[in-house]
Every structure is written in C-alpha cells, then in structure tokens.
Amino acid sequence: MKPIKVALLGCGTVGTQVVRLLDEQADDLAARVGAPVELAGIAVRRPDRHRDVPKHLLTADAAGLVTSDVDVVVEVIGGIEPVRTLLLDALRGGKSVVSANKALLAESAGELFAAADESGADLYFEAAVAGAIPLLRPLRESLAGDRITRVMGIVNGTTNYILSAMDETGANYGETLEEASRLGYAEADPTADVDGYDAASKAAILASIAFHTRVTAGDVYREGISAVTSADVAAARTLGRTIKLLAICERVDDSVAVRVHPAMIPRSHPLASVNGAFNAVFVEAEAAGQLMFYGQGAGGAPTASAVLGDLVAVARNRVHGGRGPRESAYAALEVRPVGQVETRYHLSLDVADKAGVLASVAAVFAEHNVSIAAVRQEGRTDDASLVIVTHAAPDAALKSTVDKVAGLPAVREVVSVMRVEGEDS
Ligand code: NDP
Ligand code: HSE
C-alpha cells in the first residue's frame, strides 16, 4: 500500500511528541488509516540543535519540504509568517494541512479554507483550541444539526495554571509563569497567554464554528490576567468565589458577542475546580442542552494527541476518498461590541466611613441605571471597605459607573473591579 507521506513543520514542545507518537504507534496508525503514515521530512529553524530525531529527516528549508512530494503537511511552528505562506502553498498544491496554530487560524481561516477548496485538500486544526480536548470536531460535525447559543470556558492552560496557583498557595505571578513555560504550556512569547491573545484567538475559532460566522481575533474583546492582583484573588475568596480567565461566545438575537476576560465565579461552579493547565468548555445548544468538555489544554503530549487524531482523519480521506468539513460562514452574523453585552460587576472600594458615603456611591449606580444586587461594608475607623455586586447591565454602563465612582471624594481607592459570571443575574 502506498504510504501517506507527511511533512512536519516545527519540532519543539508539540512537534517532538508528534514524532514520538508517529514512531511508537506506526503499526496501529497504518491499520487505522489503511496505509503506512511516513515522516518525509521535519523542518526546523536550527537543524543542528535537534539530536533526538533522525538527522536525515531534518531541514531548514520549510518551503522546499512543503512543495516536495508529500501528501500532508503538519504545522506546529506557530505565529503568522512564514507559516501562512507555507500553508497556503501546501493547500494550493493539494496537500492536506493539520495545524495547531490558533493565531493563524483566528486571523486567516477564510483565506486558508479558500485555498483548500481550490485544490480539494483538507484543513484540520483540532489542536489549536483546548489542547487534547476533542472540541472542534463535535462543534463542526456532531452539533452541525443543532443551534448553538453559547460557548463558555477556560481555554488557556498557562493562565489557568497561574490563577490556580495564586488562589491555592498565594504563589507569586512571575515565578508561576516561569514554571508554566518550563512545562511547555506557554507560547513562545508568553505575553500571548497572560494578555489574553491566545484565548482570544481560540474564542474567535470557537465562535466562527459555533455560529457559522467568520470571527477573527480582532473581533474579540480581550483582557488578560496581568492586572489581576492578590487583592482581587483575596476579594474573590472572601465572597466564596475564585477568578478564572474565561472565553465567552454568545449568540444574542441576530448577532454574536465574543469576549475574553478574567471573571469571578462561585466556588461551587464546575469551572472553579478546573485547575492547573486543564481546560473546560461548556456548550449550550437549543436541542442538545448543556454539554461540557474537559481535559488537558496544553503540553506536548496532549496536544500531539489532537494533532495525530487530525492526521489520521486526513490520511483516511486520502486513502479512502472524501473530504472533511469546509468553512461554514453562511450565517455572517454581526459581531456585537462588548459595551452592548450584559455583564455583572464586583467592585471593592476603600471609602471614608462617614454618613452619606454609601448614598453618594449608590446615586452613581442609579444615575447609570445599574441595579445593585448586594452591598457589604466592613470597618468602622477612618477607612472602610465597601463591596458591591451588581445585577446584569450593559458593560458600557458598568464601566462608566466605575469611572465615576472612582472620582468621588469619599472613595479613596478602587481596590478591585472584576466581572462576575456563573450566577443568576
Ligand atoms: P515551540 O516553540 O516549542 O516549537 C516551535 C518549533 O518551530 C521549533 O522546533 C522551531 O525550530 C520551529 N520553527 C520556528 N520557526 C521556524 C521556521 N521559520 N521554519 C521552520 N521551523 C521553525 O512551540 P510549541 O511546540 O509549543 O507550539 C507549536 C504550535 O502549537 C504553536 O502554534 C502553538 O500555539 C501550538 N500549540 C502549543 C501547545 C503547547 O502546549 N505547547 C498546545 C496547543 C497548541 P527550532 O527548534 O530549531 O527553534
Ligand atoms: N499556550 C497555550 C495555553 C497552549 O497555555 O493554553 C495551548 O494552546
């Protein structure tokens, strides 16, 4: 049987595990695909640094490898260029592509799918979102007959690792980030993780598939965790909540809203017990109801598992005929700005403990038509701490309220501002 020849682009945290699994499971993969799956070459930046893979396979000429006689290109380099050009060349040349690259898919999915359609090649990218968790295939295929209304979850392992450590042990932010990088969870530039860009790319991919609408990373409202302080974590703990970086994709009437930001959730919420580099995503669909997906969201071996799953799928299509799903963007829904989305805020203020302070703060909320759900004041000396949790209101109104409250003479400091999710509004 003619082998399926694979070009591997990149051999770092994920790529080395792809090479290992291809080697260790060669016989099983051949049986599952119906033909041997053979590595034809591995492109890296610095071939001399890779001593654990067969030397004759290594090359620094990724463009040459992509245009050589291969059937499938597996890309685990990351970033936009030169990868975008390499994958467009591969797809236009009829080679199926498997990629783990969320940054590229969230920016150029339309262009890549168009190139795949030109030649009839496959484009799969399960590993780009939530590591090992089978999530894109259920959305693209299993739920293709349903109407998805919401996708919400933890989709970045690095930030979840950091927030879990801050919550559990009071660990230092910087040291925990270094540990996440050492364990292979973080991106080559970890600011992509902590500033929320990685999660925003994943949210764009999830929203595009869930709502049959092309959503790019630039459409996603994004806040990372670099501004989350130990005071925020402590405030959440006092209230029986914890802080998670959430990606939330919602269908609102005939539009979609996609956002990534830290949020307080009750400790009783299922996402509160998702710790370390694990990810979990809730999907709500009209007929299916609620579904939950959970597993390892980052790391070499878990991600390689998703890559291999895609490789088997595209290799089977080569051997037996057929094609995987194409881009589905027919609904073309409008993307709604975050200011119009209903959210809830938790606010912790240092205020002077004297008559009229609470009334002056409450007046600002009333002026912006923001309803208060709960208020708690602590302290009887010069300084008091005032904690306010709101009902749901448009995010823009909540932001303006906080800005005006911060400027009140009685308010000494805004200690913590955090959105609240996972509770009745
Ligand atoms: P690494 O930084 O560990 O590896 C990147 C690899 O790409 C290296 O082997 C590097 O070569 C090679 N490379 C870089 N630039 C080029 C180039 N111009 N031409 C050829 N090769 C190049 O990254 P990861 O393995 O962690 O991540 C790879 C991809 O997988 C990214 O898109 C990432 O977002 C995604 N991903 C990662 C996960 C993880 O947990 N790590 C999880 C899910 C997805 P050299 O070694 O010689 O420098
Ligand atoms: N840097 C990413 C994360 C890798 O921490 O989730 C998995 O996509």
pLDDT digits (tens, 9 = 90+) for 221-251: 999 999 998 888 988 998 899 999 999 999 9
Q: Residue of the nearest CA to atom 46 in ligand 1?
A: 12
The CA distance from 295 to 130, in Å, is 8
- Do 152 and 209 lie in a common domain? yes
Q: Residue of the nearest CA to atom 38 in ligand 1?
A: 298
The CA distance from 172 to 296, in Å, is 23
Domain containing residue 354: CATH number? 3.30.70.260
- Do 255 and 402 lie in a common domain? no
- Do 262 and 357 lie in a common domain? no
At 118, the amino acid letter reads E
Q: Is 102 marked as binding a ligand? A: yes
List per-residue pLDDT tens for the chain, 425 residues long: 899 999 999 999 999 999 999 999 999 999 999 999 999 999 999 999 999 999 999 999 999 999 999 999 999 999 999 999 999 999 999 999 999 999 999 999 999 999 999 999 999 999 999 999 999 999 999 999 999 999 999 999 999 999 999 999 888 788 899 999 999 999 999 999 999 999 999 999 999 999 999 999 999 999 999 999 888 898 899 889 999 999 999 999 999 999 999 999 999 999 999 999 999 999 999 999 999 999 999 999 999 999 999 999 999 999 999 999 999 999 999 999 999 999 999 999 999 878 888 999 999 999 999 999 999 988 766 678 899 999 999 999 999 999 999 999 999 999 889 999 998 76
The residues near 269 (Cβ < 8 Å, ≥ 6 apart) are 422
Residue 39 lies in a domain: yes
Q: At what angle do helices 13-24 and 26-33 cross, to 10 degrees?
A: 80
255 CA distance to ligand 1 centroid (A)? 35
Residue 328 lies in a domain: no
> Which strand (E) or helix (H) includes residue 376?
strand 372-378
- Confidence (pLDDT) at 222: 98
- Confidence (pLDDT) at 359: 93
116 CA distance to ligand 2 centroid (A)? 26
Ligand with minimal distance to 85 CA: 1
Q: Is 198 in the pocket of ligand 2 (CB under 6 A)?
A: yes
Q: Give the position of tokens 């016989």.
A: 27
- Confidence (pLDDT) at 381: 62
- Do 120 and 177 lie in a common domain? no
156 CA distance to ligand 2 centroid (A)? 5
157 CA distance to ligand 2 centroid (A)? 5
Q: Is 16 marked as binding a ligand? A: yes
The catalytically annotated residue of 95, 202, 354, 404 is 202
The CA distance from 105 to 102, in Å, is 5
Note down the domain range covering 350. Answer: 340-420
Q: Is 63 in the pocket of ligand 1 (CB under 6 A)?
A: no
- Do 307 and 371 lie in a common domain? no
pTM over 0.85: yes
Q: Is 297 in the pocket of ligand 2 (CB under 6 A)?
A: yes
| Whether 2 is catalytic | no
